[in-house]
Structure 1
């Protein structure tokens, strides 16, 4: 057991999964920045503001995930090389169309949810309530974001 009363081996595995989530969140964040900068069209003002809200939110989540890795005794990934090696999200390059941009966000959030649910399950197996709570909050937040984005798409 570690100082938090969690089994070391499973905690190490959860740290690895959290680092995968961190990597994916970093790519999601950068995608949101690019979408924010490059969006064009009649919905520019609406989406420009929304994308900024989402990347600010993602930036906070990135910090929370990294701090959870540290709390569990690990080292959070912090290089672009690590992020790209451990990322599964599509890199959104030169997207200016409103619906295409929102679809990228929906697909990214769905991929993040898959990782978060895996972490939630594994953290639950070892009674890691801190990680469980974080994943539950992320899942709830992102499910709502997906619903809102799908409502936008009609």
Structure 2
């Protein structure tokens, strides 16, 4: 087995980079959704939700950068065009969402898609001995699970 400069299998690193690019594309769509609902939210809960959506998109933006840098660390090239993101993402598109419940549901549905990808990457990175990617996925999952719980509580729904 041939190892790369950080001591991981080149084959595993290539595969993980591809998986991380899928996550990157989905995170970019999630980020754009958050920007859209931040800009377009209306109604009595505007002052509550507008800053919350800003907090979430700032966090998503940081995660996008972390994912891209991890791809580079593994020897890959991060996707960086909207065309690539559209082709590679499963996160639902939120267009012209102005209602509070619809916006919160979009966040929950988006995070569900991200969590599925992240759990798959977590499993693969664990099998590869890639602690850097594993730790990142674990942190993302922990934070996103909490966000889902809070959003579901706001909707008065069970997990």
Structure 1 segment 74-113 matched on structure 2, within 5 A: 74-113=76-115
For 1:58, the equivalent position in structure 2 comes to 60
Structure 1: which 4+ aligned runs deviate by more than 6 Å? none
Could you tell me which runs of 5 or more consecutive residues in structure 1 were left unpaired when the two chains were aligned: none
**Could you tell me how far apart the structure 2 residues matched to 1:55 and 1:61 are?**
10
What TM-score comes out, normalization by structure 2 length? 0.96
The reply to whether residue 21 of structure 1 matches residue 23 of structure 2 is yes
Could you tell me which runs of 5 or more consecutive residues in structure 2 were left unpaired when the two chains were aligned: none
**Could you tell me how far apart the structure 1 residues matched to 2:63 and 2:51 are?**
19
What TM-score comes out, normalization by structure 1 length? 0.99
Give aligned pairs, total: 154
**Could you tell me how far apart the structure 2 residues matched to 1:94 and 1:74 are?**
35
CA shift, 1:11, in A, is 1.2
**Could you tell me how far apart the structure 1 residues matched to 2:109 and 2:92 are?**
9
For 2:144, the equivalent position in structure 1 comes to 142
For 2:37, the equivalent position in structure 1 comes to 35
CA shift, 1:38, in A, is 0.6
